Amino acid sequence: MEGSLRLLLLLVILDSLMSPSMAEIKNLEISDDSRQVILFENFGFNHRGTVTIALSGVSISSSAVAPAVDPSLLGFFLVSDESLIQAAYDSQQNPNPSSYPDCVLRSPYVHLLFTFENLSPPPPGGAFNNSFAVSHPDEYSLYFANCGPGAAAVTMSVRTETYNTRPDGSRDYLSVGKSPVPSLYTFFAVTYAVFLGAWIYLTLFQNRISSHGIHYLMAGLLLSKALYLVFAAEDQHYIRQTGTPHGWDIPFYLFQFLKGVLLFTVIVLIGTGWSFLKPFLQEREKKVLMIVIPLQIIANIASVVIGETGPFIRDWVTWNQVFLLIDIICCCTVLFPIIWSIRSLRETSKTDGKAARNLMKLTLFRQFYIIVIGYLYFTRIVVYASGTITSYKYRWVSVAAEETVSLLFYMFMFYMFRPVERNQYFMLDEEEEEAAELALREEEFEL
């Protein structure tokens, strides 16, 4: 009985860790797995939802001294977010374990789909194939529970399909609240394509003489971002229509990697002043790039593992933690070159006699530092928090918010460091020199 209560609380934790997912048609292999609970999917249903589960090659192994496992103690069930919240509340109001059933499959909070008693033929070699209607709209999680005594290990091939049926009878394999996402990606892809065209005109034609290497690298960043959104839109579109990405996930992950590497590289290089303030990188600045780029490779490997597998694998939570840790390290690392540049300009301003010029540079770098922190904070923390607390029907809002803030960040960054003949790096006004010197003495530009 205590085990059932503990499992319900575990479900609450698992559900909170899992980000809202698109429910592709998935074919999974479970081999000698003795976990008490395995999370397969998390999906938002409307009133015409369906879950299809097909099992094959089911077998149960236990230790020689353990008794035969009762097949009614193993099975699949759905649990809604509403039920999980109610279960957590009731466990606090009535912490007595004896009031709960001894297996989560018998809990009043879950919707039992079937147990291994329904397999035909029974294990070993058991099989099952059936569809289950979901008529109450909510966000549900699909679990497998193993309440068998001892270390009963299960081996099986699992195929899952979760979808909603449209009024015309066709299937929508994207969760409720995620259906607008393909259109959002398409809109932002077009926006970045226009952005790229304007940037190319600015750097290659209008101000070609004032353009530097960093500006061409920024154009590559815009191109990779636009292509990433194109392939993300195609990936989501085909998943929504057919349940599988039809190969679009490969270029999606490729350009996700290129976009991530180029974004952090551009932020680092702008922070160092490479190509427009100095033609070379210092040794410590090179080390920052040598740290960021390999970390981005590892982060993208973790992203692929998270996206292409799911919470059913044993180390899924670990991969999420690896991705989060590496992303935090990268976000902190890219700030160091900006801080170094601000401190270097501050020291230089005391000796080179160019107060007005240095004041402009300091102001620009300080603004860039604040904008980078704001962008990283919003896209890493605010977006995640809003996706967690927002109703499952409006999960597209977090995607729209993230892409909108990203676009604004790109626009600010590209505008601040655009190629112009007399930009803030090279403008010298002798009449403002004295005022600038006074401002530098009074303003410490501390971070």
> Would you give the distance in Å from CA 286 to the centre of its chain?
28
Pull the structure tokens for residue 269. 């290089």
* pLDDT at residue 151, rounded to an integer: 61
CB 369 within 8 A of CB 320: no
User: Residue 140 and residue 79: Cα distance in Å, rounded?
Assistant: 5
Identify the CA nearest to 363 among candidates 285, 311, 432: 432
Least confident of 225-229, 330-334, 363-367, 420-424: 420-424
Task: Give the residue with greater pLDDT, 131 vs 357.
Answer: 131
Query: What does the pLDDT read at residue 157?
Result: 93
Provide the CATH topology of domain 176-446.
Rhopdopsin 7-helix transmembrane proteins (1.20.1070)
CATH of domain 25-172: 2.60.120
1 has a pLDDT exceeding 50: no
Is it the case that residue 294 has pLDDT exceeding 80?
A: yes
Residue 93, pLDDT score? 61
Q: What digits encode the pLDDT tens for the residues 60-90?
A: 887 655 567 788 888 999 988 777 777 666 6
Mean of pLDDT over the chain: 81
Answer yes or no: same fold for 25-172 and 176-446: no
Q: Given a cut of 80, is residue 195 above it in pLDDT?
A: yes
Q: Give the rounded percent of residues in the chain with a pLDDT score beyond 70.
A: 80
CA 210 to CA 254: how far, in whole Å?
A: 32
Contact 127, 55 (CB under 8 A): yes
pLDDT recorded at residue 419: 83
- List the chain domain ranges: 25-172, 176-446
Mean pLDDT over residues 205-224, rounded?
A: 88
- pLDDT for the residue 445: 47
For residue 317, give the nearest of 161, 249, 309 by alpha carbon: 309
pLDDT in tens, 32-42: 888 888 888 88
Q: Which amino acid is at 181?
A: V
Best-predicted range by mean pLDDT (69-73, 137-141, 204-208, 363-367): 137-141
Q: Write down the pLDDT at residue 125.
A: 83
Say if CB 361 and CB 424 are below 8 A apart.
yes
Q: What is the pLDDT of residues 95-139, one digit of tens each?
A: 555 555 678 888 888 899 999 989 888 888 889 999 999 988 989
